[in-house]
Structures are given as C-alpha cells and as structure tokens.
Structure 1
Amino acid sequence: MRKSKFQEVTMISKKADIILNIFMLLLALACIYPLLLVFGISITDEKTVTLEGYKLIPQVVSFKAYEYVFTDAVDIFRAYGVTIFVTIVGSITSLSVISLYAYPLSRKDFRYRKHFTLLVFFTMLFNAGLVPWYMVYTNVLHIKDTIFAMILPGLMTPLYVLIMRTFYSTTIPESIIEAAKVDGASEFKIFTSIILPLSKPSLATIGLFNVLYYWNDWYAPLLFITDEKLYNLQYLLYRINQSITYLTSQSNSLGNVSELLANIPSQTARMAMAIVAIGPIVLAYPFFQKYFVEGLTVGSIK
C-alpha cells in the first residue's frame, strides 16, 4: 500500500531529528572533551605527563598540582572572596546602569535620543588609549588599590546598551507604556514594574556576559592593584603561573643542581589552575540558561 504524503513527511522529519540529535551529541562531546582532558591532566603525575603526553585517563593519579596551587590556601580563598564580591556587585551595578541608559534610547518621544545614541556609537569606535584611561582612574578618580578599580572598567559596555535598546524597542509594545501613563504611573514605576519584568531574557543574557567578564578579569588588577589582599582569583593564578614559568626556566638553566626546582608540577599545575578558576562559573551557567537562547535572538523576530 502506498504511503500517504503525511506519512512520508513524518518519516523524513523523524530521520532529520535523529541526524540532528546525533550531530548535537557529537558537538556536545567536542565541547566537554577539552574540559575533561584538562581535569585528567591536572590529577596526573608530572613525570607521566612529560613522558607519555596528555591523556584523558591518568595512568598515575597525583594531586601534587593542587597541593602546589593551594600552598597558600588563605590567599586562594581570599582571592575567591574578592572575585565573588566584584562579580556580584559589578554585574548587578553594570546591568542597572546599562538598562537605565538603554531605556530612554528606545523611547521615540525622548527628545535627545539621537544625541545619547551618538555617544554610545562614538565610544565604540574611538578611545583615548591606555595612558589617558589609566590617568583618569588613578589621578582623577583616585581608585588605585581599591576594590572599585576592578568594578568601574566594566560598568558600561556600549554594545550591551545597543542590545538592550533593541530589545526594548522591538519586544515591548508602546501601547503598554501608554496604558500605564493613562493609569497615572510614573516613568520610574513603568520601568521597574513593567519594562524590567518583560526584559528578563535580555537582562539574563547581558548579566551572564557581565559575570563572565568580571570573573575572568585579570587586566584591571594588573594595572591598578598592588595590595596583595585585593588580588582577585584570576590575577593571583596569573602570578602563580608566572612563578612557575620563572622557576621552570631556572630549573632548566641549573640542570640537576636543584631537585626542588626540577620537581615543580609545571604543566599539571597550569591545568589545576584552570579547573580552580572555571569551576564556580560553570555552576552558575544553568541559572541563566532558561533565558540565554531567547536573549541571544534579541531583535531577530518582532
């Protein structure tokens, strides 16, 4: 008996679903494999890595790399605290500033909308350079060796302002705002009670980008922080990596003179640092996943 057109389309759809599922499974494995490989190397003996190379399953299990990284555990946990504080405060503050700046730009009845939009575009295309930027933060704002030196540089991102503006203008109907005005709601009340609840996908997406920026930032501490108590996690791990590189070079130049230098877990310690740094941020991603895909398509469908 000849199959109907509906049955043929259904069979093709099932085959396409199977192919797509297999493809996505392979893509997921390709993304997870490097992370598992890094973890496997981090718990491998340094000599085994040197002789056998990188392997997913360690032949000789050793936690010396983590012991080396956590030699000064107090400094690591203090850096964790600084990073968590900077990430939370910086992300929330940045998200507030960006959403407040973008909202007037999306309103057609805002008289100076073009002027403020031009400021956003101008800062995306031109910048004064590193030296004036550094002088403003140190000589004008006087925030060197303060926690604010790691928060202010990422406070306003022009691209995120444009994303938020696009979301406001393409997703939120003007009739809702007009109805709220008729009911006597103020602009601030409209923004907090109507606009923000409807903007969760965009807020979650930009919030995730802010979290990633503040968590992985090591450049601001490199420029502005000299007090060891204010080192964040990434910069502390950067300094540990620099120390490993220096000690390894000394070991190579001295030959077998120093057994202590020769036994430094250089490669495995670097992998251990990557695991230490990436762990919490990976656990934070599922909280944003609900809105992440929808937020990435901001403005694509009206």
Structure 2
Amino acid sequence: MTNNEISRTANIVLHVVFILMTLACLLPIILVFMISITDYDSIVLNGYQFFPKELSLEAYTYIFKDYSVIVKAYGVSIFVTVTGTLLSVLMTSLYAYPISRADFRYRGIFAFLIFFTMLFGGGLVPWYMVYTQALDLKNTIWALIVPMLLSPFNVLIMKTYFQMSVPAALIEASKIDGAGELRTFFRIVFPLSLPVFATIGLFNTLHYWNDWFNSMIFVTDTDLYSLQYLMYKMISQADYLSRNGALIQGSATELAKLPGETIRMAMALIGIGPIVLAYPFFQRYFIKGLTLGSIKG
C-alpha cells in the first residue's frame, strides 16, 4: 500500500457511509412520489408506504385539470429564475469587487451601507410602497425579480473571496499593461472567481425558484403567478374544499374526498423538477475552480 492509498477496510467503510448518505437523499423523494400516486383512502387507512396497495392518479388529474395554467406558471418561474440569477450575480459582483479593493477611496462607506442593511430594515410597508408607488412594479414580471437582486450576505461572501483568492499582484500587472477596471474584472478577476460565482448563482437560483411571497404581495394578474405561488393557492383551495364540503350544496361527498395529502406530494414533485438540473451545472464550476487563485510563474 502506497502513502496515498487507504486500506481495504477503510475503503469499504467509506463506500458504506456514502451509500447510506445517498439512500438518505433518494428515499424521501421516492416516498413522496409513491404517496403522490397512492389512493387517498389507502393513505388514510395504512399511512405512508413505499409499496402502496392501491394506486391512483387523482392528484395529478386535479393538478393538470387546466394544464395551460401550470405551463404558464412554469414559464414565469423559469424566466424569473434565469433572469434574476444572472442580474443578481452581476450586481453582487460589481458591488463586492470595489469594496474588496484596498485602493478604492470610498470602500468603507459602501461596506458600511451593505452591512447596515443586514441588521436593520425599513419594514414591510415602506418596502411595499417603494416597489408599488415609487417604482410602479405592481403586476409586472419585474416585481418578482427586482426585490431580490441584491443580498447583503451574498455581497459579503463575494467580497471576502475576492480579498482572499484574487492576488493583488495580478490586478497591478493588469494596470501596468494598460487594462481598465472593467477589463481587469472580466478578464482577470472573473476567471479566477468561478467557484464563488457558482456558489452565489446557486443561492440565487434556489431563492428565485422557491419564492412565492413576492407573487402574493405584488401580483394579482393570474398570468404572472409563479409556480410556487400557484401551487400554494391550489393546495389552499383543495384544503378548504375538502374541509368545508358540507357547506357547499350538492357536492359534499365529492369535495370531502379530494386527495389533499397526495396533492401536496404531487405538487412537491412538480416544483422540484427543474431545480434539480441546476446542481450538476454548478457542481462543474465548484470542481473546476479548486486549483484557481494562485500566482503562476
């Protein structure tokens, strides 16, 4: 056994540990899928099962009763996620890079402003009035993008990475060669900072995709509902109808049988689909950037 080789016992133990960790990630998703295709009465009688006795597609039939609404909500969420992530990463980097530079004259002021907003906020009412009255973004697609464009936490992460991983000597060398600030940033700093760009991009992707609060606050036009908010409304309606079916004449029995639990699980699967594809894309840049950041002779 060489110095860099682990023992056979340690190798087996590591394989077992990683297999168990993989199962811990996959089994909940499989269980959610099996519940979504389980008959509702079977869930009431037998609970959650990996191998249900009776299968049913009632949940998916209810969700896709008007499939055009789902497709439209998917389009809104995809556009908001892609556009918001790109703009947010760009704004975050253009704010973090100057305050990471020791030679920037006003770096202390701008660093204080971004840190101050982490500790104190104006509250919901002023926040709402700025976007609806001052910026007039109500019932527009930008109301789902602009409020989350800049996160102080992400700015501080990126600022720290620039300070720790981008050598000042490279920036000085680019100045000597006649490169301007933007050229230095996009040709020198950006290639060396792919790991932090991928990290912030992943944070923003998850944030935009899972957001439903902005749709609830700023949007009343059904054509602009995001997927998450649409699912929230559908689940709320299904719960209300199933619990108050006796108050609606002539349909109490049918409404009481609405598959509320299976609808929740089906909604979870529908919402998780596209976001899973983002992980392999960002993972590629995590690995690629591990050896970047040093001065090479």
User: Following superposition of structure 1 onto structure 2, how do residues 6-155 of structure 1 map, counting pairs within 5 Å?
Assistant: 13-155=7-149
2:277 alignment counterpart: 283
Q: Which amino acid aligns with 1:71?
A: K
SS in 1 for 2:170: helix
| Residues 117 and 152, structure 2, Cα contact 8 Å, conserved in 1 | yes
- Root-mean-square deviation (CA, aligned residues, Å) is 2.3
Classify 1:78/1:224 alpha carbon distance in 2 versus 1 (closer, same or farther; 3 Å).
same
Distance of 1:182 and 1:89 partners within structure 2:
36
- Inter-CA distance 47–245: structure 2 relative to 1 (3 Å threshold): same
Amino acid at match of 1:54: Y
What does 1:153-172 correspond to in 2, within 5 Å? 153-172=147-166
Kept in 2, the 8 Å contact 1:256–1:262? The answer is no
Gaps of at least 5 residues in structure 1 are 1-5
Q: How does 1:221-300 map to 2 (within 5 A)?
A: 221-251=215-245, 258-292=252-286
Question: Residue 207 of structure 2 aligns with which residue?
Answer: 213
Give the conservation status (yes or no) of the 8 Å contact 1:79–1:230: yes
1-structure distance, mates of 2:126, 2:5: 64
Q: Is contact 1:204-1:295 (8 Å) kept?
A: no
TM-score by length of 2: 0.92
- Aligned-partner Cα distance in 1 for 2:262–2:66: 17
- d(CA) in 2 for partners of 1:18, 1:249: 52
TM-score, normalised by the number of residues in structure 1: 0.91
Deviation at residue 58 of structure 1 after TM alignment: 2.6
Give the total of aligned pairs: 292
Q: How far did 1:284 drift?
A: 2.0
Alignment deviations for residues 210-247 of structure 1 (CA, whole Å, 9 cap, x no partner): 01011000000000000011001000000001101100
Q: What does the per-residue CA deviation read over 1:171-222, in whole Å, with 9 as the maximum and x for residues that have no partner?
A: 1111111111111111110111111111111101110110101100000000
Compute the displacement of 1:21 (Å): 2.5
Q: Cα offset for 1:51?
A: 1.1
- For 1:261-294, what per-residue CA distance to the aligned partner results, in whole angstroms no more than 9, with x for missing partners? 1231111111000000001101221111123478
2:46 and 2:112 map into 1 onto residues whose CA distance is 57
Residue aligning to 1:177 = 171
Mark the runs of 5 or more structure 2 residues left unpaired by the alignment: none
- The percent of aligned pairs where both chains have the same amino acid is 51
Taking the aligned partners of 2:65 and 2:251, their CA distance within structure 1 comes to: 23
User: CA 1:170–1:294 in 2, change beyond 3 Å: closer, same or farther?
Assistant: farther
Q: CA deviation at 1:250?
A: 1.1
Deviation, structure 1 residue 109: 0.6
Q: Distance in 2 between matches of 1:87 and 1:100?
A: 20
Query: How far is 1:251 from its partner?
Result: 3.0
Asked if structure 2 preserves the Cα contact closer than 8 Å seen for 1:251 and 1:261, the reply is yes
SS of the aligned residue for 1:71 comes to helix
One-letter amino acid of the counterpart of residue 247, structure 1: L
**In structure 2, C-alpha distance between the alignment counterparts of 1:283 and 1:178, rounded to whole Å:** 39
Counterpart Cα distance in 1 of 2:198 and 2:5: 38
Supply the distance in 2 between the matched residues of 1:114 and 1:10 (Cα, whole angstroms): 46
Secondary structure of residue in 2 paired with 1:72: helix
Q: Which residue of 2 aligns with 1:3?
A: none
| Corresponding residue SS for 1:88 | helix
| Residue 257 of structure 1: how far off its partner (Å) | 6.2
1:192 aligns with 2:186: yes
CA shift at 1:43, angstroms? Answer: 0.9
1:114 Cα deviation from its structure 2 partner: 1.1
The structure-2 alpha-carbon separation of the partners of 1:62 and 1:292, relative to structure 1 and needing over 3 Å to count, comes to farther
